[in-house]
Amino acid sequence: MQDPYSERMSASETRAASGLALVFAFRMLGMFMVLPVLATYGMDLQGATPALIGLAIGAYGLTQALLQIPFGILSDRIGRLPIIYFGLLIFAAGAVLAAMSDSIWGVIAGRILQGAGAISAAVMALLSDLTREQHRTKAMAMIGMSIGLSFAVAMVIGPLVARAFGLSALFWLTAALALLGGVIVATLPRAQRHLQHRESGVASQALGATLRHPDLLRLDISIFALHAILMASFVALPLALVEEAALPKDEHWWVYLTALLVGFLGMVPFIIYGEKKRQMRRVLLGAVGVLLLCELFFWQFGHGLWALVVGMVIFFTAFNLLEASLPSLISKVAPAGGKGTAMGVYSTSQFLGAGLGGILGGWLYQLGGLEVVFAGCAGLGALWLLIVWSMREPPYVTSLRLPLSESALSNPELTSQLLAVSGVSDAIVLAEEGAAYVKVDTQQLDRAALDRLVA
């Protein structure tokens, strides 16, 4: 029998975490593969205009943002698996609709339907059901890495598949990956419990406080702006490679591969510096500033191949740095028991930014060409920098969920006693869950005293 306090993940936990990471990866791969090619190959679709191409790029984000939190709450009521299977089928149906369409409106409809398969919250809740507390951060990190890897692979695979088989092949591949994701879910271990977990699901009671929290709002605006700039830039950058650098669209893959690889390696020292020296605010402000400078560079100097390649390398260094550090900042800033709700609002902001960014990029390109898109992104970057400038240095804390014994639950002074433990900065006791949520500084925590209180 598996030791419930073992420091190693069990075989079933490893299988669950890796399987759900694959489901996430396949889904995001299908979502992102069209990003580097839709602006170029999509212009051959019937009725295509730059504004409609932008809508097609970002359309999935609008329905994803609308349904993300409702589907997560619904999964608490009717179960995780029905929501996940339904979402994957909807996602696959949207991909098939886009693959069979020869008009831009058909592709837009398909992308909107894809976004309606909003299963992220349900997948994270299932992960909580299938893993023990001490391994949940590790399991969530596996999913985070799978999303980052799928984005990088999509940037390279998308142009290669489109060159070999055409734009519709990308959507057929997306549908196949979604169905394969459903098969993987069917092979996962079955949850023995339906865990109400505030660290991985949205709690309606915590929604108001989350929306009123100034630094959480700054981080929500940050992920909104980051993905809006990304989507708007990818209306313009593939076209810039064709128009300004005379690089055929079927050779764009090596540019994205170079930019992503160098950008990924380039962000690592800054993440290490920010966490070890506890300077994440400085890292955040620096990355936003670099992203702003990149857009200004594209606007004024993005007229040759190597200028665009260098600009994209720096752009993806800043993008990868922000994409990796913002969820960590959410976890640090969210109050005890509020991480799941904060992440739900954060994800909604991310998808809303992607949707509106694509629309904005297409509209600006139609209005005045590449320069207007880059100038618009620079303006958004400047506004973003102003908003986050007043953000405080985040607390360097970790979230813990501690199951409580019956005697601990009956202790009316438990919350105040938890807060009195060295290294504990915030705590909330939820009798209905039989658990306490605490925020701790691991460098100062008296773990023995904490364990005595909850045992």
Domain count, the chain: 2
Specify whether 74 is located in the same domain as 164: yes
Residue 261 forms part of a structural domain? no
**For the CA atoms of the chain, what is the radius of gyration?**
22
- At 341, the amino acid letter reads T
Specify whether 104 is located in the same domain as 201: yes
Q: Quick check: 139 pLDDT over 80?
A: no
pLDDT confidence of residue 200: 64
Specify whether 111 is located in the same domain as 189: yes
Q: Quick check: 256 pLDDT over 80?
A: yes
Residue 125 forms part of a structural domain? yes
Of 38, 74, 33, 83, give the one whose Cα is nearest residue 57. Answer: 38
Would you say 250 and 166 are in contact if contact means Cβ atoms under 8 Å apart?
no
| Structure-token match 């839709």, residue found | 38
What is the spatial distance between Cα 182 and Cα 187, in angstroms, rounded to a whole number?
9
Specify whether 28 is located in the same domain as 94: yes
Give pTM, 2 decimals. Answer: 0.89
What is the spatial distance between Cα 455 and Cα 451, in angstroms, rounded to a whole number?
6
Specify whether 147 is located in the same domain as 83: yes
% of the chain surpassing 70 pLDDT = 94
Residue by residue, DSSP assigns 275-316 as HHTT-HHHHHHHHHHHHHHHHHHHHHH--SHHHHHHHHHHHH
pLDDT confidence of residue 180: 94
- At 184, the amino acid letter reads I
Residue 279 forms part of a structural domain? no
Specify whether 18 is located in the same domain as 117: yes
CATH code, domain with 429: 3.30.70.100
Q: Which domain holds residue 162?
A: 11-252+336-389
Residue 385 forms part of a structural domain? yes
CA angle 92, 116, 349 (to 5 degrees): 130
| Structure-token match 């999935």, residue found | 60
Question: Taken in order 239, 245, 249, 253, is the CA torsion positive or negative?
Answer: negative
CA angle 5, 341, 421 (to 5 degrees): 50
Q: What tens digit of pLDDT does each residue of 205-227 get?
A: 777 778 888 999 999 999 999 99
- At 199, the amino acid letter reads E
In the numeric block, which tokens belong to residue 382? 């400047």
Would you say 292 and 378 are in contact if contact means Cβ atoms under 8 Å apart?
yes
Q: Quick check: 400 pLDDT over 70?
A: yes
Q: Quick check: 262 pLDDT over 70?
A: yes
Q: Quick check: 346 pLDDT over 50?
A: yes
pLDDT confidence of residue 11: 83
Q: Quick check: 455 pLDDT over 50?
A: yes
Range among 115-129, 195-209, 359-373 with highest mean pLDDT value? 359-373
What is the spatial distance between Cα 141 and Cα 398, in angstroms, rounded to a whole number?
14
CA distances from 12 to 75, 129, 132, 167, 183 (A): 22, 12, 11, 39, 17
Q: What tens digit of pLDDT does each residue of 323-340 get?
A: 888 888 888 888 877 787
346: CB partners within 8 A, 6+ apart: 216, 219, 220, 223, 326, 327, 330
What is the spatial distance between Cα 28 and Cα 9, in angstroms, rounded to a whole number?
26
Q: Quick check: 378 pLDDT over 90?
A: yes
Residue 106 forms part of a structural domain? yes
420: CB partners within 8 A, 6+ apart: none
Specify whether 102 is located in the same domain as 127: yes
Of 14, 71, 77, 137, give the one whose Cα is nearest residue 351. Answer: 71
Q: What tens digit of pLDDT does each residue of 70-90 get?
A: 888 888 788 888 999 999 999
Residue by residue, DSSP assigns 139-192 as HHHHHHHHHHHHHHHHHHHHHHHHHHH-HHHHHHHHHHHHHHHHHHHHTSPPPS
Residue 326 forms part of a structural domain? no
Q: Quick check: 237 pLDDT over 50?
A: yes
Specify whether 71 is located in the same domain as 131: yes
What is the spatial distance between Cα 430 and Cα 16, in angstroms, rounded to a whole number?
27
Residue 223 forms part of a structural domain? yes
Specify whether 124 is located in the same domain as 155: yes
In the numeric block, which tokens belong to residue 437? 């949520």
Band the pLDDT of 315: cuts 50, 70, 90.
Answer: very high
In the numeric block, which tokens belong to residue 327? 């969820």
pLDDT confidence of residue 408: 78
CATH code, domain with 347: 1.20.1250.20
Specify whether 209 is located in the same domain as 243: yes
358: CB partners within 8 A, 6+ apart: 54, 55, 56, 57, 58, 59, 61, 231, 232, 235
Across the chain, what does the average pLDDT equal?
A: 87
**Mean pLDDT over residues 44-72, rounded?**
90
Specify whether 129 is located in the same domain as 90: yes
**Mean pLDDT over residues 100-111, rounded?**
95
Q: Quick check: 359 pLDDT over 80?
A: yes
CA distances from 208 to 35, 124, 341, 345 (A): 34, 22, 10, 11
H or E element, residue 401: strand 398-403
User: What single DSSP character describes residue 45?
Assistant: S
Residue 75 forms part of a structural domain? yes
pLDDT confidence of residue 3: 45
- At 288, the amino acid letter reads V
Specify whether 105 is located in the same domain as 63: yes
